[in-house]
């Protein structure tokens, strides 16, 4: 299934939430995520712009296959045309992690993020906060037409929408998070946290 989602980077949370209130959106959740990312030992998923994500939001645990579509074919060289996602629920984060490792996958890295979710009709606005990044918002619906309508309603510049993942946003900020074993709020990105050899 393809995601219909765009990103606006470097937002001010307070200002953006006022915009959401003004268009009648409702705040529906504050979420803390812990995320484990897996690949084959030869990093063959990484080489084609894909990964397996195990994610726990405190209420549900989900396992997903994610793949960047049209890598580097967007407006800029680090932007994509879309994202493929196949996701399903699992019961237990640690058991799912043990399963992935038992069948031969390796843990690429662990990551944390905070998300403030707003909704209006079929459109979801996720304000994402990652360690060492300025907040950004993902606007998602069941079509790009609905996403664009929401962008215009918020008074955003439609030409500044982006299709980009958080790894690429980190890279734009001079951080290659795939070189780190752990990206968490309580831990600095230190040299001893670096993956020694990722190939």
Question: Going residue by residue through the chain (199 aa), what tens digit of pLDDT does each one get?
Answer: 567 999 999 999 999 999 999 999 999 999 999 999 999 999 999 999 999 999 999 999 999 999 988 877 767 666 778 889 999 999 999 999 999 999 999 999 899 999 999 999 999 999 999 998 999 999 999 999 999 999 999 999 999 999 998 888 999 999 988 788 888 988 765 555 555 444 3
Structure-token match 């360690």, residue found: 131
Which residues, other chains included, contact 5 with Cβ-Cβ below 8 Å and sequence gap of 6+?
83, 138, 139, 140, 147, 163
Domain annotation covers residue 21: yes
pLDDT at position 148: 97
Domain annotation covers residue 50: yes
Domain annotation covers residue 124: yes
Task: Give me the DSSP letters along 70-139.
Answer: STT-SSSTT--SEEEEEEEEES-HHHHHHHHHHTT-EEEEEEEEEEEEEEETTEEEEEEE-TTS--EEEE
Domain count, the chain: 1
Domain annotation covers residue 198: no
Which two three-digit tokens encode residue 94? Answer: 């640690």
Q: Among residues 192, 184, 198, which one has the least CA distance to residue 51?
A: 198
Look up the domain containing 85 and give its range.
Answer: 2-193
pLDDT at position 77: 64
Domain annotation covers residue 47: yes
pLDDT at position 196: 46
Q: Among residues 57, 130, 117, 65, which one has the least CA distance to residue 93?
A: 57
Residues 187 and 193 sit within 8 Å (Cβ to Cβ)? yes
pLDDT at position 135: 97
Which two three-digit tokens encode residue 114? Answer: 């905070």
Q: How far apart are the first and last CA of the chain?
A: 30
CATH number for 59: 2.40.320.10
* pTM score, whole prediction: 0.75
Domain annotation covers residue 149: yes
pLDDT at position 68: 86
């Amino acid at each position: 299934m393809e995601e219909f989602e765009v990103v606006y980077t470097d937002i001010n949370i307070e200002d953006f939430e006022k915009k959401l209130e003004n268009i009648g959106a409702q705040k529906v959740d504050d979420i803390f995520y812990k995320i484990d990312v897996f690949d084959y030992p030869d990093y063959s998923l990484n080489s084609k712009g894909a990964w397996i994500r195990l994610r726990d939001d405190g209420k549900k645990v989900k396992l997903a296959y994610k793949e960047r579509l049209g890598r580097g074919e967007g407006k800029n060289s680090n932007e994509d045309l879309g994202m493929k996602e196949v996701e399903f629920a699992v019961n237990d984060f640690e058991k799912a992690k043990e399963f992935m490792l038992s069948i031969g996958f390796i843990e690429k890295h662990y990551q944390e993020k905070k998300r403030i979710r707003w909704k209006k009709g079929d459109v979801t606005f996720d304000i994402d906060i990652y360690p060492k990044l300025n907040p950004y918002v993902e606007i998602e619906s069941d079509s790009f037409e609905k996403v664009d309508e929401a962008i215009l309603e918020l008074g955003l510049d439609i030409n500044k929408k982006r299709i980009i993942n958080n790894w690429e946003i980190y890279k734009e900020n001079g951080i290659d998070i795939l070189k780190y074993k752990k990206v968490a709020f309580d831990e600095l990105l230190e040299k001893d946290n670096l993956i020694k050899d990722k190939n």
